[in-house]
Amino acid sequence: MHTRVLLDTLQIRFPVIQAPMLGVSSPEMVAAASDAGGLGSLPVGGLSPDAVAALLHRINTLTSRPYAVNLFVHHIPEVDITTLEPMRRLIQQLAKEHGYVLTDTDLQLPRFYSYKDQLEVLIRERVRIISFTFGCPDDKSIALLKKNNILLIGTATSLEEAVYLQNKGIDMVVAQGIEAGGHRGSFLNENVLPQQPLEVLLRQVKAALTIPLIAAGGIRNSGTAKTLFDQGAAAIQLGTLFIPTDESLAISSYKKMLTGEDPRSVLTTAFSGRWARGISNAFITAIETSGIPVPPYPYQNALTAPLRKMAQAQDDPEFTSLWAGTELPLTATADSAAVIVESFGRALLAV
């Protein structure tokens, strides 16, 4: 019943959602996933309103199908800027040791854009589906979005977070298991990382919520997806499987590592200051063994951004984030996002 409600509400054919992956998801990926009958997701966390508008215009030239825009709804903490200096110096040192030159100008903090800065452009561009992570929009923002008939999809990593989102009037919830690649959506207890496996989390949330649930985390194949459907998921959200596709923005070495002999997936705060799951590399090891405290998100994320950009330009996987779930190594990859959506969708609906 919930699957039919979800399909009708989102106006999609298959209960398959392409996860928003900042730095990997492209407008082309979003359009391909949506055109295939699923729901593509465009991540815009931290982007300026002008950048968001440009991406929306690009997608709208590629597809007329529904898609979601994903927001980061975190609180930006106040920090003493001087406390960032040890990490700033360490990043400069690591860069220099590996042939990258980072100047003090490179490591200046940019302006941090909040999701509230983005709401006006999303409403103006008539976005109809908004998903979000790292928290929940404030009551005023929820009311504004609801007034404009925008469907809201939240992210929960614990039962408490899922109940909180439903009580705030959120329409659907992504249950993100500990197996999921990329950033954790945790927000109620940031000092205690919820680590429920997806099946456990889904069972807990299913018993407490009445709104449709979307399962995310470590979904390797259609067999895994079917099991989650049997346990109450109305749809699945896939991320890692989309990284090797032609529409992906991931660098070549990153794509190849997903099918390597032993790509080790770890939880770390090294790249961004928030817990995230990805393939271990030299940068993670250096940061975690340095003894230097990692600044909170988005400060650490801003400090590492110039080095990540340089490493990506050189196809160097050791100094950029390689977010991926526990379904590694991938045993099969698809050339297009459309193939993934269609294969999972047909298997789940038996069509």
Q: What pLDDT shows up at residue 189?
A: 79
What's this model's pTM, rounded to 2 decimal places? Answer: 0.96
Segment 188-207, tens digit of pLDDT: 976 677 789 999 999 999 99
- Gap between the Cα atoms of 351 and 346, Å rounded: 5
Between vectors from CA 288 to CA 283 and to CA 291, what angle results, nearest 5°?
125
The torsion angles phi and psi of 213, rounded to 5 degrees, stand at: -110, 140
Q: What pLDDT shows up at residue 191?
A: 67
Do residues 205 and 165 lie in contact, with contact meaning Cβ atoms separated by under 8 Å?
no
What does pLDDT average to over the chain? 96
Pairing of strands 151-156, 172-176: parallel
- Which amino acid appears at position 232 of this protein? G
> In the chain, pLDDT over 90 holds for what percent of residues?
92
Answer yes or no: is pLDDT of 15 > 90: yes
Which DSSP symbol is given to 16? Answer: E
Which of 314, 331, 240, 231 shows the shortest CA–CA distance to 277?
240
Answer yes or no: is pLDDT of 13 > 90: yes
User: What tokens were used for 131?
Assistant: 């998903």
Q: What pLDDT shows up at residue 190?
A: 66
- Cis-peptide, bond into residue 296, ω within 30° of zero: no
Segment 310-330, tens digit of pLDDT: 999 999 999 999 999 999 999
Q: Where are the alpha helices (DSSP H) in the chain?
A: 2-10, 27-35, 49-62, 85-97, 115-124, 139-147, 159-167, 198-208, 222-230, 252-257, 282-288, 299-313, 337-349
2-76+112-244+332-349: CATH topology: TIM Barrel (3.20.20)
Segment 149-161, tens digit of pLDDT: 999 999 999 999 9
Do residues 67 and 39 lie in contact, with contact meaning Cβ atoms separated by under 8 Å?
yes
Answer yes or no: is pLDDT of 169 > 90: yes
User: What integer is the mean pLDDT of 229-250?
Assistant: 97
Segment 292-302, tens digit of pLDDT: 999 999 999 99
DSSP string, 166-195: HHTT-SEEEEE-TT--EE----S-TTS---
- Which amino acid appears at position 30 of this protein? V
Least confident of 125-134, 170-179, 181-190, 309-318: 181-190
> How is the chain split into domains, by residue range?
2-76+112-244+332-349, 78-111+264-323
Q: What pLDDT shows up at residue 262?
A: 81
Pairing of strands 172-176, 213-216: parallel
Cα of 338 vs its chain's centroid, Å: 19
